[in-house]
Amino acid sequence: MADIRVLSTIGMRPVLEEIAPAFERAHSCTLDRSYDSSVAHMKRIAAGAAGDVAVFTAAAIDALIAQGRMLARTDLAHSGVGLAVASGAPRPDISTPEKFKHALLAAKSVAHSRTGASGLYFVNLVEQLGIAQAIHAKAVVHDGLTGEIAARGQAELAVQQVSELMQAAGVDIVGPLPAELQRITVFSAGLFRNAPPLAAAFVACLAEPRHGALIRAKGMEPA
């Protein structure tokens, strides 16, 4: 049985976990899936890690293409940043930039990722809003699912890609960031050089339009 090594961002995990089993059965193969932030994966690749397929942010795929490590980019999904609270907790109004800013300042603690696209954006966003010092003083920084921190009561608010917040049990999604503050991340697939033909077939499978409903169900929009 062939093994295809798939490196993927956490945001696309629920989509891959739905698609992979049927692909494995149809092609008598094993998809060896590894999930982390695109930044963390890129650091491992720079240190010598290898794979066959990458499902990262579009920027990370472009960087690998520029390095000569990867072939063409295939866009899969558009993902926005959102906010979550523990299940049953009051949901702040974040419908406008001012209300979102007020919600952050009023919260006792805010969880965000260290290396994920949403976490890196959030750090820049609070700087732009002029509240960086106040937020950093009560931030809970965690790589992984920040919603799990909110679910455990270790943070009042959790900021992450909506698709990642949805993966955490015990949280309620407050909603996406206001449109004026939103940052859309494109998740894309890429094929490493010298990857076997079956890896290319998996990338093609991921890009099939029939997966559009699944992508939407997981908190994103098809590319």
Q: How confident is the model at residue 201 (pLDDT cuts 50, 70, 90)?
A: very high
pTM (2 d.p.): 0.92
pLDDT in tens, 134-186: 999 999 998 899 999 999 999 999 999 999 999 999 999 999 999 999 999 99
Instruction: Report the alpha-carbon distance of residue 124 to residue 118 in Å, rounded.
Output: 10
**To the nearest 10°, the Cα dihedral for 114, 119, 124, 125?**
-150
Q: Say what percent of the chain tops pLDDT 90.
A: 96
pLDDT in tens, 97-109: 999 999 999 999 9
Domains and CATH numbers, the chain: 2-78+186-222 (3.40.190.10), 81-176 (3.40.190.10)
Please provide residue 204's backbone torsions phi and psi, each rounded to the nearest 5 degrees.
Answer: -60, -40
Instruction: Report the alpha-carbon distance of residue 12 to residue 33 in Å, rounded.
Output: 11
Q: How confident is the model at residue 53 (pLDDT cuts 50, 70, 90)?
A: very high
Give one word for 166, left, alpha or beta, with left for phi > 0 and alpha for psi -120 to 50: alpha
The total of other beta-carbon atoms located within 10 Å of residue 206's CB is 25
Which pLDDT does position 61 carry in this prediction?
98
Q: Is 48 exposed, middle or buried (0-12, 13-18, 19+ CB in 10 A)?
A: exposed
Instruction: Report the alpha-carbon distance of residue 54 to residue 70 in Å, rounded.
Output: 9
